[in-house]
Structure 1
């Protein structure tokens, strides 16, 4: 959620910190700050409410702060309102210790009350300041910063990623992690700490991923890692293989638009290595036919857009596998006493691989004996490391908060996995198997061709952007696709929007339709098209204005009823949502553009949700 950057080396730290924070702005934040330690000026802390530019202007791009050791943070308010005082870094009472924190300290009130009884004075409303004050308390006891960190971590409960500097340690940065991501970067001019690889990719591609309970000590020349008993740990190094330019706009007006246009290539990267001689080959996911037949139930667990991938996949997988599939919101799964055993396959989907609710749900599923498969984008992420099996989407970095190419690559990868398992079970006829594989191979080219002509969507967005409320209706796969279209519109344009299974209109929601209401009618699913048209007639009869999305085959029929029609190419029904979602993404984008919204950084949202 929030962004952490740390640096210790041989160059001025403040500009490095500001640059790293700028590359994590997409994560969402409402304040920013840095702390830099120098031999002559000691610990210097500067922070401010608002955009990072406010902080940068305050310290003249970092030139005002002297020192080669520092930490930086962009905060999204959880405890205490967004203001200068609650912004990070937080400093201990005597001013010797500064830290930045991502996560939630669940027992902070208990610790705060204890320290207050000892005379400690707090200045903020945050749970994070409790860690700084507790560190100072233990440091005064043992006079060793590493030991103080160990004692502190044994007392706090919850999730944390911590970057810590101490005035008494002029050449060392300390990091600690539990249930919130932290990455160590090994550079030539120093070493780095970050919550997101995008913050440090400009400086190094040599990284290691911290595990829960670990503590790291970074100096300009080395990084030493310890477990929760302060026993040294050897960390595996990983090379980040994507181009730094992938995290830049490259001439596009917004990251979201760039990432929409990148979807054909992203899908190509996802599917090409997994299709060989007309067969789906999943080298990373080896399940035998016997193991697959042993599965009696499948859960798909995710949040947000990844949950909508699961909704589409439920329809497709039950058709392909003839097994019951249940889609669960990750935040609800582990509190529902789920029926998981060793005959259960649990699919967890997360772009970042760090979504805390999804991670906790996966751990609960494993505890109950379920077999877990993770669909993630970020190599080495927590979910990827903990799952029994992992399949990467290989979508490259996604910077816009509202996901597009991550959704599309997750969707097509789930189609491949469903086809692979259906083949093992013998529940997919050979001719249908071939037809789906051929459709997957054509998908990037079809999407590329459609994206070359987006004028209709742009025009309809300019026509409908001033509606206060919109409704998406569809049946079967179109309903599942509508959930994502509605979410995209809400996320970035702030227009109230809902998606409904159109057969449910007559059961109450038709009362929301009045003259002038905009209904986005999704009619790409051929087997139910005629039934769907009757739903369009229903809303038209009550005065709705209808913008329809359908396939080229049904353009003429849809045009007789709808006020406006957008079409996508025909493909196999299972893959139709992969093409259909692209106009919905673009419609949301152009509507938000017309309304003057901050498209890449919508209000109140963050890219990676690492608090429960």
Structure 2
């Protein structure tokens, strides 16, 4: 699993798809592939290694197609190989790209073999293509075949698919794995990451779990699992070309290190007032609710977990609030005992971390005083599920080693610690000092960066 992009357009989509794959290279991958729904047949090309290799393969074929899908893969089921790379196909008719994990893949594999299907890879993803083919062969149209196929799946998936019988269409499905649709002019898109298509559109439809979509160059239709059309609000996602460009820097990590003063400034902007944080910066009614907080349960993964561990001192020192910190992947399996007046805090840069979302779903069934998320992506699943939240406003982080995402999370967590202390009328002097420290941080960072030449000498 890694990056999905699809396009239906009045122009040939091969270059659109390759550019989208390149914009998702920051996510890491071991192979890449593309399926183009040409007039005579679907052209599928797959390559181990860089997208550049795939681009070189395409140059040999000079494809022309107005609909297609593409994918970059990190191996999960099966080793990195051309056979395991996406797109996967069935009977040269159905082709799919897939992110996620199909938990019941062994059961489905056995069933498909009993129907006479030949499985050519070690992946769980190929099985989806065969299932869609099976249900379409049974007499359903492509949309119903996709719905019927996904009804057999247990786990998480985002899927983009094409059918050789329908040259101008892309089909999509989402369940617990991010997928969105981009609305263009005489072209529309599907992607797992908005950065893949941000240069083509700023207008998006965010698919929800259980959504299906049928996309042409001029139309976008979204359905539920009963094939009943649904309405989704159009969302604007703004990003400049510089967000996906290294500019004057050697690599994205260096660029994002130097973006920290601005990013932290964006986190604290409009949230501090006088010697304190402003009321209700985490959402309506949050400051009143925080009066009752006696302990905090943090859940996060990776860098976000380290942010929680760093911030624990502030909560205990400024707010006098004891904290418990869990890996999101472990939280729901230990049957946590939820004591009264506990605030649950989920931290995720992307807002799509699968384990954090699963922990959040578990927590919503428990007796927490409230649930807060700290997240960088306003359009993410986590952000859309909660009323109390703070966006770090760090902008896209493309470098793999976290920089500004981490430091802006720390700023948001310090704001939360001050906010709880303010609601409980605790430690006004410490609150004032911490608030001033937040204000000073962007300029202090900038001063540190200006020492670069002196240090190099």
Normalising by structure 1, we get a TM-score of 0.72
Q: Is this contact kept in 2: 1:247–1:398, CA < 8 A?
A: no
The answer to whether the 8 Å contact 1:38/1:66 transfers is yes
Report if aligned partners of 1:164, 1:173 keep a CA contact under 8 Å in 2.
yes
| The one of 147, 150, 157 aligned to 1:150 | 147
- Change in 2 beyond 3 A, CA 1:342/1:142: farther
Partner residue of 2:359 out of 334, 337, 361:
361
Deviation of residue 457 (structure 1)? 6.8
Residue matched to 1:9:
9
In the TM superposition, 1:398-413 aligns within 5 A as 398-413=397-412
Q: Is the 8 A contact 1:9 1:191 kept in 2?
A: yes
Higher mean alpha-carbon deviation, 142-151 vs 120-129, is at 142-151
| 1:275 counterpart residue number | 272
Q: Which residue of 2 aligns with 1:25?
A: 25
Comparing 315-324 and 292-301, the one that deviates more? 292-301
Shift in alpha-carbon separation, 1:355–1:437, aligned structure 2, 3 A: same
- Does structure 1 residue 294 correspond to structure 2 residue 292? yes
- Conserved? CA contact 2:318–2:431, under 8 Å: no
The two structures have a TM-score, normalised by structure 2, of 0.96
User: Alignment partner of 2:379: what SS?
Assistant: coil
Distance 1:323 1:137 in 2: 57
Higher deviation after alignment, 253-262 or 364-373 = 364-373
Which residue, out of 88, 105, 108, partners 1:108? 105
Runs of 5+ in structure 1 lacking a partner? 460-612
In structure 1, the residue matched to 2:424 is 425
Sort the Cα spacing of 1:178 and 1:457 in 2 relative to 1 into closer, same or farther, 3 A. farther
3-state SS in 2 of match to 1:383: helix
| 1:288–1:424 Cα contact (<8 Å) kept | no
Deviations 1:50-70 (A, max 9, x none): 11111111112x972210100
Corresponding residue for 2:440? 442
Shift in CA distance, 112/34, structure 1 to aligned 2, threshold 3 Å:
same
Structure 1 CA distance for aligned equivalents of residues 336 and 452 of structure 2: 44
Matched-pair contact (CA < 8 Å) for 2:8–2:67: yes
Q: Deviations over 1:519-566 (max 9, x none)?
A: xxxxxxxxxxxxxxxxxxxxxxxxxxxxxxxxxxxxxxxxxxxxxxxx
Q: Any conservation in 1 of the 2:283–2:387 contact (CA below 8 Å)?
A: no
Moved more, 333-342 or 67-76: 333-342
What is the alpha-carbon distance in structure 1 between the residues aligned to residue 139 and residue 9 of structure 2? 27
1:286 shift after superposition = 3.2
1:383 & 1:435 partners in 2: Cα distance? 31
The separation in 1 between residues aligned to 2:287 and 2:390, in whole angstroms, is 19
Equivalent residue for 2:216, pick from 207, 216, 219? 219
Distance change >3 Å, CA 123–CA 301, structure 1 → 2 = same
- Please give the per-residue CA displacement for 1:382-439, whole angstroms capped at 9, x wherever unaligned: 111113422100001111111100001010111011101111011222x322222122
CA distance in 2, matches of 1:441, 1:137: 61
Query: Would you say how many aligned residue pairs link Structure 1 and Structure 2?
Result: 455
1:398 and 1:14 mapped to 2: Cα distance? 27
Cα offset, 1:342, TM superposition: 6.1
* Alignment correspondent of 2:179: 182
**Residue in structure 2 matched with residue 520 of structure 1 by the alignment:** none
Give the conservation status (yes or no) of the 8 Å contact 2:328–2:359. Answer: yes
Tell me how far apart the structure 2 counterparts of residues 289 and 278 of structure 1 sit (CA, whole Å): 16
C-alpha distance in structure 2 between counterparts of 1:288 and 1:393, whole Å: 17
Structure 2 partner of 1:499: none
1:125 aligns with one of 115, 122, 129: 122
Check the 8 A contact 1:419/1:428 in 2, yes or no: no
SS of residue paired to 2:95: strand
| Alignment of structure 1 residues 459-498 onto 2, 5 Å | none
Alpha-carbon contact 2:73-2:86 (below 8 Å) kept: yes
Inter-partner Cα distance in structure 2 for 1:311 and 1:455: 33
Change in 2 beyond 3 A, CA 1:278/1:63: farther
Q: Is this contact kept in 1: 2:6–2:160, CA < 8 A?
A: yes
Q: Which residue of 1 aligns with 2:37?
A: 37
Please report how far the alpha carbon of residue 218 of structure 1 lies from its aligned counterpart in structure 2 after TM superposition: 0.5
The residue that corresponds to 1:50 in the other structure is: 49
Checking the alignment, whether the CA contact within 8 Å between 2:374 and 2:389 is kept in structure 1 is yes
Output the CA distance in 1 between the equivalents of 2:288 and 2:58.
Answer: 63
- Find the aligned partners of 2:283 and 2:299 in 1 and give their Cα distance: 18
